[in-house]
């Protein structure tokens, strides 16, 4: 790498390491995995710094981080894990664990799978704001900066994305319908 690339890396990437670590922590829920994810992101950013135009470094880095995380999960979690039979086998394989032996644990796993499907069904602009705000915990302004869009657009996309997720969960039976809520209000 040239001195210009090193200088660009120091200028654009290094100030964002703390934000990347926070986002990675929320993605992985494990400090060591978060550090590994940030390290992989830094390597990829360093390799691509010559092609970076200097605009929106946080958005650029969080995109690299998110794509790196997605690629790591694809390798670790084959689609067979979505099979309910496989999930049930995982539950019955370790009954000594309190969490796995809960009777409602399978319902939780099914809801998680339904929620994952709902998130996967979102188009990229909507999925991006959900990822940054609801999953990564960024403020609206931070998400807007990361995506290079106005705060109002973040709020609008987030509202529409949440509505789409609720509709998906209602269709799968994972969330109550309006009629269910009305009926529940009528019961003594």
**CB proximity list for 181: less than 8 A, separation 6 or greater:** none
Which of 128, 139, 152, 124 has its CA nearest to residue 19?
A: 139
pLDDT of residue 67: 86
Query: What is the sign of the dihedral through the CA atoms of 63, 65, 69 and 71?
Result: positive
- Which tens digits make up the pLDDT trace of 60-81? 998 899 888 888 876 665 443 4
Domain made up of 102-174: CATH architecture:
Orthogonal Bundle (1.10)
11-48 per-residue burial string, b: 16 or more CB within 10 A, e: under 16: ebbeebeebbbbbbbbbbeeeeebeebbebbbeebeee
| CATH label, 1-77, candidates 1.10.10.10, 3.20.19.10, 1.10.1740.10, 3.40.50.150 | 1.10.1740.10
Measured in degrees and rounded to the nearest 5, phi and psi for residue 76 equal -85, -35
Torsion 145-150-155-157 (CA) sign: negative
The C-alpha atoms of residue 38 and residue 22 are separated, in whole angstroms, by 10
pLDDT of residue 45: 93
Query: Would you kindly state where each structural domain of the chain is located, as residue ranges?
Result: 1-77, 102-174
Give residue 46's pLDDT: 93
E strand or H helix at 182, and its extent? helix 178-186
Q: Which residue has the higher pLDDT, 26 or 54?
A: 54
* pLDDT for residue 180: 53
Do the domains spanning 1-77 and 102-174 agree at the CATH topology level? no
């Amino acid at each position: 790498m040239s001195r210009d690339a090193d200088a660009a890396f120091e200028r654009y990437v290094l100030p964002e390491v703390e934000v990347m670590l926070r986002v990675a922590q929320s993605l992985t829920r494990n400090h060591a995995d978060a550090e590994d994810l940030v390290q992989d992101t830094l390597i990829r950013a360093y390799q691509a710094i010559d092609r970076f135009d200097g605009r929106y470094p946080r958005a650029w880095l969080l995109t690299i981080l998110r794509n790196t995380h997605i690629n790591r999960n694809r390798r670790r979690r084959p689609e067979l894990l979505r099979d309910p039979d496989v999930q049930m086998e995982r539950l019955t394989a370790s009954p000594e664990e309190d969490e796995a032996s809960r009777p409602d644990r399978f319902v939780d796993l099914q809801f998680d799978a339904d929620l994952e499907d709902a998130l996967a069904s979102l188009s990229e602009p909507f999925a991006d704001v959900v990822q940054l705000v609801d999953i990564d915990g960024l403020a609206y302004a931070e998400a807007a900066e990361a995506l290079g869009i106005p705060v109002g657009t973040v709020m609008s996309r987030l509202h529409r994305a949440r509505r789409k997720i609720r509709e998906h969960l209602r269709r799968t039976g994972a969330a109550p319908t309006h009629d269910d809520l009305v009926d529940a209000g009528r019961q003594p």
